[in-house]
Amino acid sequence: MSVPAVHEFGYWWHRYRRTWRGTAVISIANPLLFVTALGFGLGRLVDERNSAYLHGGSYLAFIGPGLLAASAMQMGFIHGSGPVFQSARVGGNYRAAVTTPMEPSDIFTGHLLFTAFRATLDSAAILLVLLVFGAASPAALPGAVLTALAFATPISAYAVSTDRPAKLSALFRFVIMPLYMFSGTFFPAEQLPGPLRALVWLSPLWHGTELCRGSGPIVIHVLVLLALIVAGYLAGRRSYTRRLTA
């Protein structure tokens, strides 16, 4: 990592300092709503049936890490799409940075560093709420950050080169939402019918969710997420350079 990347981090940090209060409220309130509605509301219904898929645990304990990982995915999308797209447009921040000694790869790295920072902070806030209700373990934090980056990195690489915001909303509708529904967030993936159960291995969110739950082959989950980050980083260095220095 080159040092100039720190200055791009500094730009986003500077902007964040002005708005962090608002985002902090959302970071706490959002998981609070979900945990209350799903964990206590829906959870009471589920726990009465005593489902074998939960292996004797409560639904609250199941959905807690699931919500954490799913929020991390959403953070990855939110930070990797809109801000990157806006900054790469004519008149955007990247366009200013590239006229200075900053190179496109510095800009990319610095922005990713900030996303990692935000994901850590916001995941910690969610985790704090979950901990209060006994719905997750502190050991889930690295899994959440890894999940956020596994989405943010390739999405940034794509968003910098796209010319229309509609493509980013399509990405959300056709990739992020289905993953959200079928990656073991709300119900165990083992419940899915046979062929779909195998497909779940392709979902980065499922690996992230399992990692946050501390279940399954942890090394493989970590490797899958790391592979996405590395592939996204290599692709992003290219696409940032192509877009910002044509």
Partner 1 sequence: MNHTGALVSARGLTKIYEGPPEHVAVGGIDFDVRRGEAFGFLGPNGAGKSTTMRMIGCVSPRSGGELTILGHDAARDRRTIKARLGSVPQDDTLDTELTVEENILIYGRYFGLRRDVIRERTDRLLEFARLTDKRASRVQDLSGGMRRRLTIARSLVNEPDLLLLDEPTTGLDPQARHLLWERLFRLKQDGVTLILTTHYMDEAEQLCDRLAVMDGGRIVAHGSPRELIERYVTREVLELRFPLDRHEQAAEKARGIGERIEVLPDRLLCYTSDGEAALEEAGRRGLDPLTALVRRSGLEDVFLTLTGRTLIE
Which residues are at the interface with partner 1 (CB under 8 A)?
Answer: 3-4, 7, 10-11, 14-15, 90-93, 95-103, 244-246
- CA-nearest of 191, 193, 196, 197 to 51 is 191
- Closest approach, Cβ 244 to partner 1, in A, equals 7
- Closest approach, Cβ 10 to partner 1, in A, equals 6
CB-CB contact of 8 with 102 (8 Å) = yes
Evaluate the CA torsion angle 14, 16, 17, 18 in order and state its sign: positive
Residue type, 194: G
Evaluate the CA torsion angle 83, 89, 93, 99 in order and state its sign: positive
What is the C-alpha separation between 132 and 37, in angstroms, rounded? Answer: 16
CB-CB contact of 236 with 108 (8 Å) = yes
- Closest approach, Cβ 20 to partner 1, in A, equals 15
* Closer residue to partner 1 (CB): 12 or 151: 12
- Closest approach, Cβ 77 to partner 1, in A, equals 22
- Closest approach, Cβ 107 to partner 1, in A, equals 9
* Closer residue to partner 1 (CB): 97 or 189: 97
Measured at the alpha carbon of residue 130, what is the angle toward residues 174 and 178, in degrees to the nearest 5?
10
* Closer residue to partner 1 (CB): 3 or 52: 3
* Closer residue to partner 1 (CB): 23 or 137: 23
Which tokens go with 175? Answer: 């990739």
* Closer residue to partner 1 (CB): 93 or 183: 93
